[in-house]
Amino acid sequence: MRNAEAKILSCGQMLAERAKLKVQGKKLVFTNGCFDILHAGHVTYLEFSRAQGDCLVLGLNSDASVKRNKGDDRPVNSEADRARVLAALECIDYVVLFDEDEPKTLIEKIIPDVLVKGEDWAHYVSGREAVEAAGGKVVLAKMVAGRSTTGTIEKVLKVYGEKR
| Contact yes or no for 131/31 (Cβ under 8 A) | no
pLDDT at 1 over 60: no
Q: How many domains does the chain have?
A: 1
pLDDT at 164 over 70: no
Of all residues in the chain, the percent with pLDDT exceeding 70 is 97
When pLDDT is averaged across residues 58-76 and rounded to a whole number, the result is: 95
The whole domain housing 47 covers 4-163
The pLDDT confidence band at residue 3, using thresholds 50, 70 and 90, is confident
In whole angstroms, what is the distance from residue 134 CA to residue 73 CA? 38
pLDDT at 25 over 90: yes
In whole angstroms, what is the distance from residue 136 CA to residue 63 CA? 29
In whole angstroms, what is the distance from residue 68 CA to residue 104 CA? 16
- Higher confidence at residue 19 or residue 5? 19
- Domain containing residue 138: CATH number: 3.40.50.620
The pLDDT tens digits of the residues spanning 110-162 come to 999 999 998 887 889 999 999 999 999 999 998 877 777 777 888 887 888 86
